[in-house]
A and B are shown apart, each in its own frame.
Chain A
Amino acid sequence: GQSLEQPSEVTAVEGAIVQINCTYQTSGFYGLSWYQQHDGGAPTFLSYNALDGLEETGRFSSFLSRSDSYGYLLLQELQMKDSASYFCAVRDTGFQKLVFGTGTRLLVSP
Protein backbone atom coordinates (compact mmCIF):
# COMPACT_ATOMS: atom_id res chain seq x y z
CA GLY A 1 0.00 0.00 0.00
CA GLN A 2 0.91 3.66 0.01
CA SER A 3 1.41 6.08 2.86
CA LEU A 4 2.39 9.73 2.81
CA GLU A 5 3.56 11.97 5.63
CA GLN A 6 3.49 15.73 5.69
CA PRO A 7 3.45 18.27 8.53
CA SER A 8 0.01 19.20 9.77
CA GLU A 9 0.64 22.93 9.91
CA VAL A 10 3.22 25.50 8.82
CA THR A 11 3.22 29.22 9.56
CA ALA A 12 5.05 32.01 7.77
CA VAL A 13 4.87 35.75 7.11
CA GLU A 14 4.11 37.58 3.91
CA GLY A 15 7.05 37.80 1.57
CA ALA A 16 8.83 34.84 3.11
CA ILE A 17 9.69 31.45 1.62
CA VAL A 18 8.19 28.26 3.00
CA GLN A 19 8.85 24.60 2.27
CA ILE A 20 6.28 21.86 2.78
CA ASN A 21 7.78 18.39 2.92
CA CYS A 22 6.28 15.08 1.93
CA THR A 23 7.72 11.62 2.47
CA TYR A 24 6.08 8.59 0.95
CA GLN A 25 6.15 4.82 1.04
CA THR A 26 4.88 3.07 -2.05
CA SER A 27 5.06 -0.32 -3.67
CA GLY A 28 5.72 1.44 -6.97
CA PHE A 29 6.03 5.04 -8.02
CA TYR A 30 4.46 7.04 -10.82
CA GLY A 31 5.04 10.60 -9.72
CA LEU A 32 4.34 13.01 -6.89
CA SER A 33 1.63 15.65 -7.25
CA TRP A 34 0.69 18.67 -5.19
CA TYR A 35 -2.76 20.17 -4.71
CA GLN A 36 -3.94 23.37 -3.02
CA GLN A 37 -7.23 23.73 -1.20
CA HIS A 38 -8.58 26.95 0.27
CA ASP A 39 -11.05 26.72 3.14
CA GLY A 40 -14.44 25.76 1.78
CA GLY A 41 -13.03 25.23 -1.70
CA ALA A 42 -12.10 22.39 -3.99
CA PRO A 43 -8.59 20.99 -4.31
CA THR A 44 -6.78 22.34 -7.34
CA PHE A 45 -3.74 20.86 -9.05
CA LEU A 46 -0.46 22.74 -8.55
CA SER A 47 2.40 20.63 -9.84
CA TYR A 48 3.69 17.19 -10.70
CA ASN A 49 7.13 15.58 -10.56
CA ALA A 50 7.79 12.31 -12.32
CA LEU A 51 11.57 12.59 -12.28
CA ASP A 52 14.12 13.82 -9.75
CA GLY A 53 14.72 17.52 -9.56
CA LEU A 54 12.96 20.82 -9.37
CA GLU A 55 9.90 21.91 -11.32
CA GLU A 56 9.14 25.63 -11.25
CA THR A 57 5.80 27.29 -11.90
CA GLY A 58 5.88 30.96 -11.04
CA ARG A 59 6.21 31.43 -7.29
CA PHE A 60 5.75 27.73 -6.67
CA SER A 61 8.35 25.01 -7.15
CA SER A 62 8.21 21.31 -6.44
CA PHE A 63 11.13 18.99 -5.84
CA LEU A 64 11.45 15.23 -5.94
CA SER A 65 14.11 12.77 -4.82
CA ARG A 66 13.00 9.26 -5.69
CA SER A 67 15.97 7.66 -3.93
CA ASP A 68 14.90 9.34 -0.67
CA SER A 69 11.13 8.87 -1.28
CA TYR A 70 10.86 12.56 -0.55
CA GLY A 71 9.52 15.67 -2.12
CA TYR A 72 8.67 19.22 -1.18
CA LEU A 73 6.66 22.17 -2.33
CA LEU A 74 8.41 25.53 -2.15
CA LEU A 75 6.37 28.70 -2.04
CA GLN A 76 8.22 31.97 -2.55
CA GLU A 77 7.18 35.58 -1.98
CA LEU A 78 4.33 34.41 0.18
CA GLN A 79 1.03 36.25 -0.10
CA MET A 80 -1.95 36.18 2.21
CA LYS A 81 -3.91 34.33 -0.48
CA ASP A 82 -1.46 31.42 -0.18
CA SER A 83 -3.05 30.55 3.18
CA ALA A 84 -4.58 27.18 2.37
CA SER A 85 -4.07 23.46 2.81
CA TYR A 86 -1.57 21.70 0.59
CA PHE A 87 -1.75 18.01 -0.20
CA CYS A 88 0.86 15.74 -1.72
CA ALA A 89 -0.34 12.69 -3.64
CA VAL A 90 1.20 9.64 -5.29
CA ARG A 91 -0.29 7.42 -7.93
CA ASP A 92 -1.06 3.83 -6.99
CA THR A 93 0.60 1.73 -9.67
CA GLY A 94 -1.78 -1.16 -9.27
CA PHE A 95 -5.01 0.74 -9.69
CA GLN A 96 -3.83 3.99 -11.21
CA LYS A 97 -5.58 6.11 -8.64
CA LEU A 98 -4.14 8.88 -6.49
CA VAL A 99 -3.46 8.45 -2.79
CA PHE A 100 -3.43 11.76 -0.90
CA GLY A 101 -1.54 12.80 2.20
CA THR A 102 -3.45 14.27 5.12
CA GLY A 103 -2.52 17.80 4.14
CA THR A 104 -0.48 20.70 5.51
CA ARG A 105 -2.29 23.82 6.58
CA LEU A 106 -0.27 26.93 5.70
CA LEU A 107 -1.03 30.10 7.64
CA VAL A 108 0.45 33.30 6.21
CA SER A 109 0.43 36.28 8.51
CA PRO A 110 1.04 39.96 7.71
Chain B
Amino acid sequence: DADVTQTPRNRITKTGKRIMLECSQTKGHDRMYWYRQDPGLGLRLIYYSFDVKDINKGEISDGYSVSRQAQAKFSLSLESAIPNQTALYFCATSDFRAKNIQYFGAGTRLSVL
Protein backbone atom coordinates (compact mmCIF):
# COMPACT_ATOMS: atom_id res chain seq x y z
CA ASP B 1 0.00 0.00 0.00
CA ALA B 2 1.14 3.53 -0.76
CA ASP B 3 2.41 5.58 2.18
CA VAL B 4 0.59 8.69 0.92
CA THR B 5 -2.79 8.00 -0.64
CA GLN B 6 -4.86 10.49 -2.58
CA THR B 7 -8.48 10.05 -3.57
CA PRO B 8 -9.89 10.33 -6.13
CA ARG B 9 -7.15 9.86 -8.74
CA ASN B 10 -9.20 11.54 -11.42
CA ARG B 11 -12.21 13.81 -11.23
CA ILE B 12 -14.25 15.71 -13.75
CA THR B 13 -16.66 18.29 -12.43
CA LYS B 14 -18.62 21.32 -13.52
CA THR B 15 -18.13 24.98 -12.77
CA GLY B 16 -19.63 25.97 -9.43
CA LYS B 17 -19.56 22.51 -7.86
CA ARG B 18 -17.94 21.84 -4.51
CA ILE B 19 -15.13 19.33 -4.66
CA MET B 20 -13.10 17.64 -1.95
CA LEU B 21 -9.78 15.94 -2.52
CA GLU B 22 -8.58 13.66 0.23
CA CYS B 23 -5.14 12.67 1.42
CA SER B 24 -4.14 10.13 4.02
CA GLN B 25 -0.71 8.95 5.10
CA THR B 26 0.73 6.05 7.03
CA LYS B 27 4.21 7.51 7.43
CA GLY B 28 3.47 9.05 10.82
CA HIS B 29 4.65 12.45 9.63
CA ASP B 30 3.48 15.62 11.31
CA ARG B 31 3.67 17.89 8.26
CA MET B 32 1.32 17.75 5.29
CA TYR B 33 1.05 19.87 2.16
CA TRP B 34 -1.18 20.45 -0.84
CA TYR B 35 0.38 21.48 -4.15
CA ARG B 36 -0.97 22.30 -7.53
CA GLN B 37 0.96 21.52 -10.73
CA ASP B 38 0.35 23.20 -14.07
CA PRO B 39 2.47 22.64 -17.18
CA GLY B 40 5.56 24.84 -17.09
CA LEU B 41 4.81 26.22 -13.65
CA GLY B 42 6.23 23.53 -11.43
CA LEU B 43 4.72 22.81 -8.03
CA ARG B 44 2.94 25.63 -6.27
CA LEU B 45 1.97 25.40 -2.62
CA ILE B 46 -1.71 25.84 -1.79
CA TYR B 47 -1.84 25.08 1.94
CA TYR B 48 0.32 23.38 4.51
CA SER B 49 -0.09 22.09 8.04
CA PHE B 50 2.54 21.31 10.64
CA ASP B 51 0.13 19.58 12.99
CA VAL B 52 -3.61 19.14 13.52
CA LYS B 53 -4.06 22.61 14.99
CA ASP B 54 -1.79 24.39 12.53
CA ILE B 55 -3.00 25.43 9.06
CA ASN B 56 -1.16 27.90 6.85
CA LYS B 57 -1.83 29.45 3.48
CA GLY B 58 0.60 28.89 0.69
CA GLU B 59 1.25 31.06 -2.34
CA ILE B 60 -2.03 30.26 -4.15
CA SER B 61 -4.68 29.63 -1.50
CA ASP B 62 -7.48 31.75 -2.99
CA GLY B 63 -10.45 29.59 -3.95
CA TYR B 64 -9.29 26.68 -1.79
CA SER B 65 -9.77 25.56 1.80
CA VAL B 66 -8.34 22.68 3.81
CA SER B 67 -9.11 20.57 6.84
CA ARG B 68 -6.65 18.57 8.93
CA GLN B 69 -8.99 15.99 10.43
CA ALA B 70 -6.23 14.00 12.10
CA GLN B 71 -2.48 13.75 11.93
CA ALA B 72 -2.87 11.31 9.07
CA LYS B 73 -5.58 13.09 7.07
CA PHE B 74 -5.50 16.38 5.18
CA SER B 75 -8.25 17.28 2.74
CA LEU B 76 -8.44 20.05 0.16
CA SER B 77 -11.74 21.63 -0.88
CA LEU B 78 -12.71 23.76 -3.82
CA GLU B 79 -15.84 25.51 -2.59
CA SER B 80 -17.00 26.57 -6.04
CA ALA B 81 -14.83 25.09 -8.76
CA ILE B 82 -13.83 27.18 -11.77
CA PRO B 83 -12.15 26.08 -15.03
CA ASN B 84 -8.76 27.60 -14.18
CA GLN B 85 -8.56 25.21 -11.23
CA THR B 86 -8.11 22.42 -13.72
CA ALA B 87 -4.73 20.98 -12.75
CA LEU B 88 -2.86 18.10 -11.19
CA TYR B 89 -3.01 18.20 -7.39
CA PHE B 90 -0.48 16.58 -5.09
CA CYS B 91 -0.49 15.92 -1.40
CA ALA B 92 2.86 15.54 0.36
CA THR B 93 4.17 14.81 3.83
CA SER B 94 7.41 15.42 5.68
CA ASP B 95 8.89 14.77 9.07
CA PHE B 96 10.10 17.65 11.23
CA ARG B 97 13.48 15.92 11.53
CA ALA B 98 13.99 15.91 7.72
CA LYS B 99 12.28 19.04 6.52
CA ASN B 100 13.78 19.00 3.03
CA ILE B 101 12.45 15.57 2.15
CA GLN B 102 8.83 15.42 1.12
CA TYR B 103 6.90 12.29 0.14
CA PHE B 104 4.23 12.76 -2.48
CA GLY B 105 0.99 10.99 -3.21
CA ALA B 106 0.20 9.80 -6.74
CA GLY B 107 -1.80 12.92 -7.50
CA THR B 108 -5.36 13.83 -8.41
CA ARG B 109 -6.07 15.00 -11.92
CA LEU B 110 -8.97 17.47 -11.74
CA SER B 111 -10.85 18.87 -14.70
CA VAL B 112 -13.38 21.64 -14.22
CA LEU B 113 -15.68 22.09 -17.20
> Which A residues fall within an 8 A CB radius of B?
8, 30-31, 33, 35, 41-45, 48, 50, 87, 89, 91, 95-103
Contact = CB atoms under 8 A, between A and B. Distances in A.
Interface residues of B, number: 22
Nearest to A6: B42
A41 B43 CA distance: 13
A87 B48 contact: no
A63 to B, nearest CB: 16
A42 B6 CA distance: 11
B42 A96 contact: no
A42 B100 contact: no
B55 interface: no
A96 B99 contact: yes
Contact of A87 (B40, B42, B45, B56): B42
A45 B103 contact: yes
Contacts of A95: 48, 56
A43 B100 contact: no
Interface in B61-113: 90, 92, 99-107
Which of A8, A45, A97 has the most chain B CB atoms inside 10 A of its CB?
A97
Interface in B34-66: 40-45, 48, 50, 56, 58
Given A42-B106, A102-B40, 6 more contacts: A42-B107, A43-B43, A43-B90, A43-B104, A45-B102, A102-B41
